[in-house]
Amino acid sequence: MFKLPLRRLPSRSLCRAAVTDAAAVNQATPLCPAAAARAITTTAGRPPTLARARAPAGQGGSCLPNSSRRPLPLSRAPPRVAAPSRQQQQQQQQQQRRFFSYWDPDGSRLRSARPLFTRDTVRRVAWSPSTHVIVVVAVGGAVTFYFTNLETVPVSGRTRFNVYSPESVRKTSEMQYKMLMYDLERQGARILPDWDPRTVKVRRVMRKLIPFSGMADESWEIFVIDDPHTANAFVLPGGKVFVFSGILPLTRNDDGLAAVLGHEIAHNVADHVAERMSQAIGTNILLYAGILLAAPLGLGPLVMQFIGSKVLDVAFGNPMSRMQESEADYIGLMMMAEACYDPHEAARFWARMDEVEKMGGKTIPEWMSTHPANEARIRKVQEWLPQALEKRQESDCSTTSAFADQFRHALRGQVIRVFVPM
């Protein structure tokens, strides 16, 4: 877009000069023919330029005199907002007085105003028979609702409260899966292909664990993410398996990887996601009840900030999470034993994890953590080892495992003795 130069016209026929761009042209006044005719010039080596001059509407195209010409500003500073004067402040106060005098002319309402909550009001409401009836009905309904939604966790046999069906959990998991894939794509994460040795290893272990999970009908999908700095793995409800490559060196072998994947599959076997969602109902009721009780004292925001983020997590959320993690350890240990993996490797894996966390300085008190301490996990695994070894024997793994053990010894330079019957 060409910028037309601003030309100055001879005296007594000066017009507002035009015009630097298309926006100024559109906002200008009608053309001044006399000034436009004089504005056409030709210079050596340059095309003619046209400076358009305008006159105000209704002047018939005549030019304005010098006294009425005003320069066109090219840039203008933002207007400065002045502080209201004393007179303006007095006017605002008068308007406020007129407003209050409209709904309270004599000021009797303001003088007779009382606090919304007083001690007498709270005492009267608390000892009211209708309040007692409401409390009894609410508590009775809550107790009935709780006991009618109890169920038994598979494998561990624990009784727990759950109000969410597998279908609702699966829908929630699908949304979580889409958000997770979007975040991985935005971060530039690389998902390893199926032919990568790390993906092959994960698929091999999963192929042996799935038949013993009771979830063989799920649509299993395995994603191995190339991230050597992240030691993590998880399984979303519905069979979406995510393994970060940083955890594979800590597992060292298929038995260690089976301990990790068995633990993650166990969360879905026990339906821990639905249990956590159900627990949130009770914690929210406690939170809002505390806010309502603290509202008369003006402590509602403080209760919401302190109790909602700290006290409820320490009192309810973290213990529930630690219990679920320990339960997943137990179910996963039984699962990997039935799949003919060595359950001793689970304790070795958690020992290696403990060393890594201590080197990184990530240790925190167990009561503040969502996971049990690694030492506690190792002790529990060692307590469950006799039962896991019994499960392994029941799965008829003795022949296969003995031959595999001999093969591993051969790789270490030992001699294999094979007895062939005559």
Active site residues: 264
- For the range 285-290, what are the long-range contacts, defined as Cβ-Cβ under 8 Å and sequence gap of 24 or more? 286/312, 287/312
DSSP code for 105: T
Strands of 189-230 (E only): list them. 221-225
For Cα atoms 279, 315, 230, give the angle at the middle one, nearest 5 degrees. Answer: 80
- C-alpha–C-alpha distance, residues 395 and 340, integer Å: 7
With residue 207 as reference, give the H or E element that holds it: helix 197-209
Helix, coil or strand: residue 152: strand
Q: Which amino acid is at 412?
A: R
Show Cβ contacts of residue 274 under 8 Å, excluding neighbours closer than 6 positions. 162, 163, 164, 165, 166, 168, 169
Cβ atoms of 222 and 241 closer than 8 Å: yes
Q: Which amino acid is at 60?
A: G
- C-alpha–C-alpha distance, residues 174 and 239, integer Å: 10
DSSP code for 117: S
Shortest CA distance to 203 belongs to which of 173, 238, 248? 248
Q: CA-based Rg of the chain, rounded to a whole angstrom?
A: 40
Return the bridge partners of 223, or none.
242
- C-alpha–C-alpha distance, residues 212 and 261, integer Å: 12
- C-alpha–C-alpha distance, residues 319 and 368, integer Å: 9
Return the bridge partners of 414, or none.
none
Shortest CA distance to 204 belongs to which of 243, 230, 238? 243
Give me the residue label for tokens 């399984």.
235
